[in-house]
Structure 1
């Protein structure tokens, strides 16, 4: 679709022929289809200012030509600071099998990667935008090899995308707090106003002391009014003990509730159903969320349905997009939603429509009863217009994004 991207400089405009979901169509078996209709949507000063009956003759309106309007996507776990995207293809090396192996490799190559990381982060953001993403939670390395230079370059890349892409930043001790002496650097990073979360890495297998590493991270978050998002690859008893110890801290410190997350949390994938139910209840009580890249290699399947059933906030991200940790990331949040639907058998119209929430950080056009709840007047104008008839089709077919709007600004996409 041809769009005049000079429009992105305008703060007030109207879209016509916009397809919005208006309800579910049901029979005796339940939801069998999604009802839609065409509307006009007015955008003013970065927000939805009005949704009204469609007027095909409306002058000066941008014609959406029947595209389906969805909330723009949010990638809730990615590393924009150290991608290989934009460089020649590289598959993974068979020499590097463990997290410790990767730390040693990073210490070798990060000084070289930093020379072009601003440009490559920008290229990766372009990829995300072309798949409909306007927001990311991105981790940045805090390590003794590079100090805070990864953050400096990442902020330059994000500033280059100001107005069309935004992010919240996680200070991430990729080489461990104590495996390398990174604690002082983490204290420095945690004081920065642009940093929203402090992270951690495998308190047992990398830092060698669950209590010491978690105690430090929790106190750092409290002292600086930050959230927590730690990487936890440890499985078995140690992984579960790490999660439970973090839950204990969060229950004791209410300001951390709803701001504390465990990324990956592979230990949960190896639990019995009964054990998964039990720890899901604990996570829900403490308002500790799980952030997953939805792994399925080596028969690792996260208990996402169990977590969701118990009210645990489950966020999803691409994590790696062509880097030296993994080559399978696509940058496409609809692909992640589709993978979730396939893994857990969520294939009905209703279930597919609900699965969209993993791409949008919970925002859905219709509530569970089929009532319209997005877009509403006052909502941020973060919008993806996709070539699909409904949310269920968009997830199932990973429908292409033809128009992307971020805070009211139109984002130029590759054709």
Structure 2
């Protein structure tokens, strides 16, 4: 459920936040300044002009190898939250001076838990015990207390994401007997407060098991709301049945016209069988193609190369996407294989600071850099392709070096970054200098 946004009123008069003087470090944010930016941003209608904007225009080749990226400066006119016009740069023209910063699509965190973060609270490292069911018991003891200020902490976590150039997230939201629908309600408050600067889609997530804790009645209730996906969790290890859990998840999605995004941590045979069974159900219900995702899918990392290729081919044919954690201890997901076979692969920060994990900077650009290191993508071409992980697909140049973003009519969701090209941005995790969401200049 993507949120509408409205751009900053009197932005040009606010020298403290003007692009000419802005110094910004990813992962560090002043919550009050972002809030002030939103407060000033409620009436101007997503309209502004950026000049001296650097855009990628093509590749430079030597002996058929991409060795560099061509860029030029442009003027970008934004109106009603969309890119209205892209013109040759006119340095003397009126507009916000981007100072030659590189413009890229804004980043998208496609797997995170905004609803139950400990961010903005007292630091604590994780204290895991008892496996996944032990963690469920821990949440049952602590969720009620966490919910008392979960809207506030969600807003602070959103601000962290924004500071790293992210303007959109797919957030899983606990739906279970302990919090019932309160996690959803509290997160919706936070998202409403950020509607001018951040967009989201929500996954109803039975974190404590669909049947293990009888979450089904609450999932049915959540499915009637404006959530976007029906979630799930390790059907064998938690619920004890692949077929029963997946059948119910699929039926909820079909009955309420939702997508599917399930957590699948199981790395053994049960994980593979779950993916295969889900593929069968999607192929039986073509309306779910392009709307179904498996988060984590660690079973794919344990397969031999031939089986990985076979599964990638099946996933691509069924249009089932993978939302992968990068990296994950002891496992290397076959992301290049999945991408090469046409599987929609995305990433996210998952749990930045909560009872499940305390690792995470908030930057999906950093995740992309880690992926580039992990898979040896060190060339100009390879690094530029990896940017897809940070943006959930959109990149300036196609594989032939033809400009495909931005175009007039595109949504004005973009970042200005201190880099000469996207390959450098990925390689150096270059600083984000400005985030614009639906034409709304967030900072």
| TM-score normalised by the chain length of structure 2 | 0.90
- Indicate if the aligned counterparts of 1:8 and 1:411 stay in contact, CA closer than 8 A: no
Q: Distance in 2 between matches of 1:389 and 1:323?
A: 36
Query: Which residue does the alignment assign to 1:393?
Result: 424
- Indicate if the aligned counterparts of 1:70 and 1:385 stay in contact, CA closer than 8 A: yes
Following superposition of structure 1 onto structure 2, how do residues 205-216 of structure 1 map, counting pairs within 5 Å?
Answer: 205-216=237-248
> 2:367 matched to 1:367?
no
- Indicate if the aligned counterparts of 2:77 and 2:85 stay in contact, CA closer than 8 A: yes
Query: Which residue does the alignment assign to 2:102?
Result: 68
Post-superposition CA distance 1:291-317 (Å, at most 9, x none): 1122331x2010111111111111111
1:197 pairs with one of 208, 229, 232: 229
Q: What secondary structure sits across from 2:359 in the alignment?
A: coil
1:3 pairs with one of 3, 12, 17: 17
Q: What secondary structure sits across from 2:238 in the alignment?
A: coil
Cα distance, 1:373 vs. partner? 1.0
- Indicate if the aligned counterparts of 1:76 and 1:291 stay in contact, CA closer than 8 A: yes
Q: What secondary structure sits across from 2:85 in the alignment?
A: strand
Q: Distance in 1 between matches of 2:63 and 2:417?
A: 30
Q: Distance in 2 between matches of 1:77 and 1:250?
A: 21
Q: What secondary structure sits across from 2:349 in the alignment?
A: coil
Query: Which residue does the alignment assign to 2:84?
Result: 49
Q: What secondary structure sits across from 1:170 in the alignment?
A: strand
- Indicate if the aligned counterparts of 2:327 and 2:370 stay in contact, CA closer than 8 A: no
Following superposition of structure 1 onto structure 2, how do residues 24-173 of structure 1 map, counting pairs within 5 Å?
Answer: 24-59=59-94, 61-93=95-127, 95-173=128-206
Dislocated runs of 4+, deviation >6 Å = none
1:316 pairs with one of 325, 328, 347: 347
Q: Distance in 2 between matches of 1:13 and 1:231?
A: 41
Cα distance, 1:32 vs. partner? 0.4
Q: Distance in 2 between matches of 1:84 and 1:70?
A: 30
Q: Distance in 2 between matches of 1:156 and 1:268?
A: 37
1:264 pairs with one of 272, 278, 296: 296
Post-superposition CA distance 1:67-124 (Å, at most 9, x none): 100000000000000111001111111x525111110000000000000100000000
Q: Distance in 1 between matches of 2:328 and 2:154?
A: 27
Aligned residues: 408
> 2:337 matched to 1:302?
no
Query: Which residue does the alignment assign to 2:212?
Result: 179
- Indicate if the aligned counterparts of 2:53 and 2:74 stay in contact, CA closer than 8 A: yes
- Indicate if the aligned counterparts of 2:267 and 2:299 stay in contact, CA closer than 8 A: yes
> 2:373 matched to 1:342?
yes
> 2:378 matched to 1:378?
no
Query: Which residue does the alignment assign to 1:358?
Result: 389
Query: Which residue does the alignment assign to 1:246?
Result: 278
- Indicate if the aligned counterparts of 1:9 and 1:409 stay in contact, CA closer than 8 A: no
Q: Distance in 2 between matches of 1:309 and 1:402?
A: 32
Backbone CA RMSD of aligned residues: 1.2
Post-superposition CA distance 1:366-395 (Å, at most 9, x none): 111111111100000001000000000100
Q: Distance in 2 between matches of 1:223 and 1:376?
A: 37
2:307 pairs with one of 269, 272, 275: 275
Q: What secondary structure sits across from 1:162 in the alignment?
A: coil
Q: Distance in 2 between matches of 1:183 and 1:398?
A: 42
Q: Distance in 2 between matches of 1:212 and 1:380?
A: 41
- Indicate if the aligned counterparts of 1:8 and 1:408 stay in contact, CA closer than 8 A: no
> 2:49 matched to 1:14?
yes
Cα distance, 1:42 vs. partner? 0.3
1:332 pairs with one of 360, 363, 376: 363
Q: What secondary structure sits across from 1:206 in the alignment?
A: helix
Cα distance, 1:8 vs. partner? 7.3
Q: Distance in 1 between matches of 2:439 and 2:427?
A: 27
Query: Which residue does the alignment assign to 2:4?
Result: none
Q: What secondary structure sits across from 1:195 in the alignment?
A: coil
Query: Which residue does the alignment assign to 2:255?
Result: 223
Structure 1 residues without counterparts, runs of 5 or longer: none
- Indicate if the aligned counterparts of 2:262 and 2:293 stay in contact, CA closer than 8 A: yes
Query: Which residue does the alignment assign to 2:34?
Result: none
- Indicate if the aligned counterparts of 2:42 and 2:196 stay in contact, CA closer than 8 A: no
Cα distance, 1:322 vs. partner? 1.3
Query: Which residue does the alignment assign to 1:286?
Result: 318
Cα distance, 1:359 vs. partner? 0.5
